[in-house]
Chains A and B, each alone.
Chain A
Amino acid sequence: MLESPIARRALLKAGGALVVSFGFVPRVADAQAATPGAKTVSADEVGGFIAIDSVGQVTLYSGKVELGTGALTALTQIVAEELSVAFARVKTIQGDTMLTPDQGPTYASLSIQNGGMQIRRAAATARDALLEQAAGRLGVAKTELVARDGGVALRDGSRALTYSELLGGRQLAMKLNPAAPLKDPKDFTIVGTPVPRLDIPAKIFGQFEFVQDIKRPGMLHARVVHPAGIKATLLSFSDGACRKIPGYVRAVRKGNFLAVVATSEWAAIRASTTIVAKWSDWAGLPEQSQLYEYVRRSKIDRSEVMQAAGDSSTAMKAGGRTLQASYELAMNTHGSIGPSCAVAEFAGGRLTVWTPSQASHLLRVQLATMLALKPENVRCIYVEGAGCYGRNGADDCSSEAALIAHQIGKPVRLQWMRADEHGWDPKGPPMVLDYRASIDDAGRIAAWESDVFMPERPMKRSGATLLAATLADLPKYGPSHPGNPNPGIGIPYALAHNKLTAHWLLDTPLPAAWIRAPARMQNTFGNECFLDEIAAATRVDPFEMRVRHLADPRGLELIERLRQFAKWQPRGATPRDAGQLARGRGVSYCKYELVRTYVGVVADVAVDRKSGQIKVERVWVVHDCGQIINPDGLRNQIEGNVVQTVSRSLIEELTFSRSAVTSLNWGSYPILTFPDVPQIQIDLVDRPAEVPWGAGEPTTSVIPSAIANAVFDATGARLRSVPFRPPTVLAALAAVPRS
C-alpha cells in the first residue's frame, strides 16, 4: 500500500512557529508482508523491539498499543531519545503477535512505566552496542564517541558513522543489557517535550484507519444476535425471511451463538433484525433495587487482610468515639463511542484477526484455545478502535468474528451494534465498602478498619472470558479477573492501628472486567470520603487532616502544592450557602496502588438543593508521576480522567432487568455532555531524574470522593452511593440534621 506522507504530517503551531513533524503510523496493510518467524518477538532481544534499516529508518515494535492515550507517541519519543535519532525517523508497529514482543496487555497505567522502560532498555542496549562497534571501526576509545543524529561521531565531530553504516544490513541481534548506560535526563531533547501526537492529523482529516475501516478482499459482513437473557438458551431460529434480503448469505449457529452474514453491512443489519430466534426464559439476575444487598449476600470465596498495622481490634475498643460509614458504587459500562469491531480470516488452517483488543498476545492464546488451533497458527493484529478504558467488548467481538470466520472460511467483518456494546461488554462490578474508626479524646484516629466486598481475583466463576466461547460452549483459556485489585487498595496514611480486609466474592451479577482504575477508584472513594467524615467530626480542616497522617514526603509535598494551587481556605466557621444553590469544595488524595503516581484534586461544586443536581464547576489537579515523557499528552490524559470520572460519579449507572442489561444506549445510559464539563486546572510535578510512572488511571481514583466531599462542604449532606444522581442527592440533603 502506498504511504501518504502528507496525511501524516502534523501541522502544528507551537510557540508561534510552524512545526512540521513527520511521524509514521503505518497503515494496517503495511505489516501484512511480514513472514512468520522472520523477526524475533522476544522481549529479551533488542531486535524484538527495534530495527534500523539501510537508510537509517528506525522501527519500534511495541507490544503496548495506542488506545487513544498518546502512549505510542510517548514510546516513540523514548526510542528516539535513547537512540539519539530524530523523532521523525522512528516509525512504529504495535500489538501484532507476529511482529511485536508480548509486553502484557495495555492496561493498568503501565505502558510507559513498564513497557516504555523495557523499550528504553532495548534502545540503550542498541546505542551502547553501536558505540562499541564504532569504537572498533574508528580505532578510538568508546569514551571519545557520542551518539547523535542517527549515528556515532567523534566528540570533535571530525569523523562519524551512521547506524546504518555500522549495521550494514544486520539486525540488532543482542540480548537486552540491564547494565547498558541510560542517557542522562539532562541531555534529553525529545523526552519531556510536548511532541504532537502521531495519530491526530490523520484522525482530524478523516484519513485514519480504525479497525472499523478495514476492508479485506472478499470480505463479508456479520452481525450477532445476542441472547435475550444473559444466560438464555437458543431454542430455535428461523432465517427464512432473511433470504428475501438482497445480499443475505447465511446464519451461523453454534450452541447459543447466533450470527448472520451478508455481502453488505446494511444487509447484515437487516438480517439481524429479521431473523427470528427463540430463547429460553432466563431470569437469574438480582433485582436492581437489591443490588447492594446481593453483593453483601454473595458467597465469599475467602477473606484476605490486604493492609494491617498495629492491633486495630484492640485499639478500636479502647474508648473514645466510634464512627462508621458504608459506601457503595454502581456497575458501569465502558461505553466506547464506537461499538467493538473486528475482522477475521480463516484460511489454510490459519486464523488472522484484526482486533482492537488491548491484549493481542493474550487474545491469540484465548482464540487458539477456543478454536483448538495451535497458537502459532493464530495471528492477532492490533488496530485502533474507539477508546476502551479497560476490557470492553473488543475481545468478545474479536472472538465472535473469529468464530464466524472459522465456520464459514471467508473473511468477515463484525461490528457490534450500540445495544451489543452496552449490553454485552463486561461490566465494572458493583462494590460495597464498610468503614469503622475510633477517635481518641484528643480527636486523633486511634484505629481504622475497613471491609471491602468485591469480586475475587482471579474471577473463577464470573470473570469475562471470550463471549463466543461462552455462548458456543467452547474451551476457555484461563480465569479472568476484574482488574487485579491488589494490596494497593489500602490507605496511603500512616495510622498506628489499621486493618483492611478484602472479601473476595465468588459471584457478581454480570460478567465483569476492569474499567479504568478498577477497585482503586472504589476504594479511594471509601477511603477519602471516610477520612473527610472523620475530619468533619473532629473539626479538622480536610487538608490538615491529610497532612497530619501523611508520612510520605513526596505525598506531603503534593498536598501542600495542591493547597496552594487551589487557593484552599479552611471553611472554619464560615456558614454554608443558605440559598437554593450551595457551593463547596472537596479534596481527595491518593498514591496509586500505594507505590506510584501521586495525585491530589480539589473539586469545586454547586449543588441545587431543589433539583438535587450537582454541577462540578472546576477541578484542580496536582499530579506527580515522576519523569514526564510528554507533558501535553499527560495533560490530555489527566483531563480525560477528570471528565470521564465526573461522568461516572454524577450520572453513569447500569440498569438491568432480571434477564439482561436494559441500559442499552445513550438515552438509558447517559454520560456527561459539553455544557456540564468542568473547567480543569492542572499543575504537573515533573521529576526528570526519577522513573516515569503511569497516568492513565490515577486521577480517576480521586474524583468521586472529591465531589462527595465538596457536596458535604456545600450542604452538610454525605453522599455514600455512586453515582450521585438527583434522587440520591435529595435523599442525602433531606437527611442533613437541622442545626
Chain B
Amino acid sequence: MATTIKLTVNGAPQTLQVEDPNMPLLYALRDELGLHGFHFGCGLAQCGACTVHYYGEALRSCVMPVSAVAGAEIVTLEGLGTPEKPHPLQQAFIAEQAAQCGYCINGMIMQAAAFLKTTKRPTEDQVRQALAGNLCKCGTHVRIIRAVMRAAEQMA
C-alpha cells in the first residue's frame, strides 16, 4: 500500500507515492523525481555526497526516511543555483576549478552553503571545521577551501 508524501523540492510542490515510508529521501529525489546533483556515497551519513538542504540546513539524504521529511522544503544542488543564476559558491568552485572527479563536490557545496548562511567571513580554520564531515578521495581539499573562502568574501 503506497503512502502519499508531499514535499517542496527546489521550490516546486511534489506529491510522491512511496511503497516504503522508510525509503531514504535520496531515492525519492533521484529515482522518483529524476534529480541527480547529489549522490549515493556510503548510505551511512559518513561522507556527505548525498547532502541536500532541509529548510536551508545540510541534511544527509541517504539515511533520512522520506516520511520523516514529509511536507518539508528541500533544495538540491540543481536548485541552489543554475548556470544562468549561479550561487556564489558555484561561481567560486568553477573559478577555483575545485573538482577532480566531482562525485563528492555536491556535498562540499551544499554543506558550505548552509554554513555560510550563519557564518559570515569565516577563517580558513572555520571552513575546514565546517567541512570536516565531508570526504573527498581525490584530494581536492585545498581548492575547495579556497573556493569557499572566495565565495564567503563575495557574499559578505
Q: Which residues does A use to contact B, with CB under 8 Å? A: 6-7, 9-13, 67-70, 196-197, 199-201, 203-210, 212-213, 215, 246-247, 264-267, 270, 334-339, 384-387, 389, 415, 417-418, 632-633, 636, 639-644, 647, 665-667, 671, 673-675, 677, 679-680
Shortest beta-carbon distance, A717 to chain B, in Å? 26
Query: B35-62 vs A: 1/0 string, CB under 8 Å?
Result: 1111111111011010000000000000
Taking a contact as CB atoms under 8 Å apart, the answer to whether B31 and A7 are in contact is no
Task: Report the bound CA distance from A643 to B138 in whole Å.
Answer: 8
**Can you give 18 A-B contacts (C-beta < 8 A)?**
A70-B100, A205-B37, A210-B103, A264-B27, A266-B20, A336-B137, A337-B138, A386-B137, A387-B103, A387-B138, A389-B137, A415-B40, A632-B97, A666-B42, A666-B47, A673-B132, A674-B131, A675-B125
Could you say which residues of chain B place their CB within 8 Å of the CB of A69? 100
B39→A210 contact, CB < 8 A:
yes
A12-B94, A337-B47 known, 14 other contacts, Cβ within 8 Å: A10-B94, A67-B101, A196-B94, A196-B97, A206-B76, A210-B36, A266-B24, A336-B103, A337-B41, A338-B39, A386-B39, A387-B103, A389-B137, A415-B40
B residues within 8 A CB of A386?
A: 39, 101, 103-104, 137
Residues of B within 8 A of A6 (CB): 83-84
Q: Are B100 and A387 in contact (CB under 8 A)?
A: yes
A675 to B144, CA, bound (A): 12
Q: Tell me which residues across on chain B come within 8 A of A384, comparing CB atoms.
A: 101
Q: Closest Cβ of chain A: how far from B101's Cβ, in Å?
A: 3
Q: With an 8 A cutoff between CB atoms, is B105 at the interface?
A: yes
Partner of B136, one of A267, A337, A389, A665: A337
* Set of chain A residues within 8 Å of B40, measured between Cβ atoms: 212, 338-339, 415
A281 to B103, CA, bound (A): 37
CB pair A639–B135 under 8 Å, yes or no, is no
* A contact residues around B109 at 8 Å (CB): 204
Give which listed residue, A210, A385, A636, contacts B100 with CB less than 8 A: A636
Residue of chain B at shortest CB distance from A13 = B95
Q: In the complex where A200-B97, A338-B103, A680-B142 touch, is A418 in contact with B44 (Cβ < 8 A)?
A: yes
Q: Does B4 contact A (CB under 8 A)?
A: no
Judge whether B99 and A674 touch: CB under 8 Å: no
A595 to B5, CA, bound (A): 62
Chain A residues with Cβ below 8 Å from B34 are 215
A-chain residues with CB within 8 Å of residue B139 when the two chains form the complex: 639-644, 647, 677
Residues of B within 8 A of A201 (CB): 83, 94
Cβ contact within 8 Å between A205 and B77: yes
Q: In the complex the two chains form, what is the Cα distance from A201 to B143 in whole Å?
A: 15
A674, B132: Cβ atoms under 8 Å? yes
Set of chain A residues within 8 Å of B132, measured between Cβ atoms: 673-675
Cβ contacts under 8 Å, A671 to chain B: 135, 137
Bound complex: CA of A210 vs CA of B133, how far in Å?
23
Interface set, chain B 79-109, CB cutoff 8 A to A: 80-84, 86, 90-91, 93-95, 97, 99-106, 109
Tell me whether B78 is interfacial, beta carbon within 8 Å: yes
Least CB separation from B43: chain A residue: A418
Q: For the complex, what is the distance from the CA of A270 to the CA of B23, rounded to whole Å?
A: 9
Residues of chain A contacted by B141 (CB below 8 angstroms): 643, 674, 677
Nearest B residue to A418, CB-CB: B42
Residues A338 and B49 in contact, CB atoms below 8 Å apart? yes
CB neighbours of B135 from chain A (8 A): 337, 666, 671, 673
Residues of A within 8 A of B125 (CB): 675
In the bound complex, CA of A337 to CA of B97 (Å): 19
Q: Which 3 pairs, one residue from A and one from B, show the smallest C-beta to C-beta distance?
A: A206-B37, A68-B101, A643-B139
Whether B91 contacts A11 by the Cβ 8 Å rule is yes
Interface of B is mostly: loop
A331 to B62, CA, bound (A): 29
**In this assembly, does B67 line the interface, its C-beta being within 8 Å of a C-beta of chain A?**
no
Complex: chain A residue closest to B36, CB-CB:
A213
B99 touches A204 (CB 8 A): yes
Residue of A nearest to B37 (CB): A206
Q: Taking CB as reference atom, which chain B residue is nearest A194?
A: B97
Q: Smallest distance from the beta carbon of B49 to chain A beta carbons, Å?
A: 6
Check if B44 sits within 8 Å of A666, measured CB to CB. yes
Which chain B residue lies CB-closest to A334? B137
Instruction: From B2, B47, B143, give the contact of A636 (CB < 8 A).
Output: B143
Q: Is the CB of A417 within 8 A of B36?
A: no
Do residues A68 and B129 form an inter-chain contact, with CB atoms below 8 A?
no
Tell me whether B77 and A266 are in contact (CB under 8 A): no
Which one of B20, B97, B125 has the highest number of Cβ atoms from chain A below 10 Å of its Cβ?
A: B97
Determine whether B6 belongs to the interface, using a CB cutoff of 8 Å to chain A. Answer: no
**Pair B19/A200 contact, Cβ less than 8 Å:** no
Q: Residues of A contacting B106 with CB < 8 Å?
A: 206
Q: Are B20 and A665 in contact (CB under 8 A)?
A: no
Q: Do A197 and B99 touch across chains, with their CB atoms under 8 A apart?
A: yes
B152 at the interface (CB under 8 A from A): no
B8 in the interface, Cβ–Cβ < 8 Å?
no
Given A338-B41, A643-B139, A674-B132: A246 touches B19 (CB 8 Å cut-off): yes
Hey, which chain B residues are within 8 Å of A677, CB to CB? Answer: 128, 139, 141-142, 145
Pick the contact of B43: A210, A212, A417, A680 (CB < 8 A). A417
B27/A206 in contact, CB under 8 A: no
Partner of A265, one of B27, B38, B46, B144: B27
* A207–B37 CB distance below 8 A: yes
Instruction: Return B43 CB to nearest CB of chain A, in Å.
Output: 6
Among A266, A647, A675, max chain B CB count under 10 A is at A266
Given known pairs A206-B36, A680-B142, the reply for A335 and B137 (CB within 8 Å) is: yes
**Shortest CB–CB separation between residue B9 and chain A, in angstroms?**
13
Q: List the A side residues contacting B31 at CB < 8 Å.
A: 264-266
CA distance A425 to B42 in the complex (A): 15
Q: Which residues of A contact B43 (CB under 8 A)?
A: 417-418
Q: What is the CA–CA distance of A675 and B49 in the complex, to the nearest angstrom?
A: 18
B97 touches A675 (CB 8 A): no
- Residue of A at shortest CB range from B42? A418
Task: Check B119 for interface membership: any CB of A closer than 8 A.
Answer: no
How close is A241's CB to chain B, nearest CB, in angstroms?
14
B46 near A11: Cβ-Cβ < 8 Å: no
A334 partner residues in chain B, CB cutoff 8 A: 137
Give bound CA distance, A675 to B126, whole Å: 9
Q: Taking A266-B27, A666-B47 as contacts, is the C-beta distance between A636 and B86 under 8 angstroms?
A: no
Cβ contact within 8 Å between B101 and A643: no
Q: How far is the CA of A386 from the CA of B36 in the complex (A)?
A: 14
Chain B residues within 8 Å of A67, by CB? 101
- Which residues from chain B contact A385 at a C-beta distance below 8 Å? 101, 103
Contact A68 B100 (CB under 8 A): yes
Closest beta carbon of chain B to A354's beta carbon, Å: 15
**Chain A residue nearest to B2 in the complex (CB):** A246
Q: Name the contact of B102 in the complex, choosing from A200, A415, A640 (C-beta under 8 A).
A: A200
Contacts of B27 in A (CB 8 A): 264-266
**When A205-B82, A247-B19, A665-B44 are in contact, do A640 and B103 touch as well, CB less than 8 Å?**
no
Contacts of B20 in A (CB 8 A): 246, 266-267, 270
A644 near B138: Cβ-Cβ < 8 Å = yes
**Closest Cβ neighbor of A11 among chain B residues:** B94
The CA-CA distance from A70 to B138 in the complex, in Å, is: 12
Question: How many angstroms from the CA of A674 to the CA of B149 in the assembled complex?
Answer: 14
B102, B132, B140 interface centre (most CB from chain A within 10 Å): B102
Q: How far is the CA of A255 from the CA of B86 in the complex (A)?
A: 51
Contact in complex: B100, A11 (CB < 8 Å) = no
Bound Cα distance from A13 to B91, whole angstroms: 9
A379 CA / B31 CA spacing, docked (Å):
26
Q: Would A266 and B23 count as touching, CB distance under 8 A?
A: yes
- The CA-CA distance from A641 to B138 in the complex, in Å, is 8
Given the complex, which residues of A lie within 8 Å of B39, measured CB to CB?
210, 212, 338, 386
Q: Residues of B contacting A674 with CB < 8 Å?
A: 127-129, 131-132, 134, 141, 144-145
Distance of A356 Cα from B7 Cα, bound (Å): 33
Are the CB atoms of A205 and B83 closer together than 8 Å? yes
Task: A11 to B132: give the CA distance in the assembly, Å.
Answer: 28
Are the C-beta atoms of B103 and A7 separated by less than 8 Å? no
**Bound CA–CA A13/B2 (angstroms):** 49
The docked-state distance in angstroms from the alpha carbon of A209 to that of B20 is 27
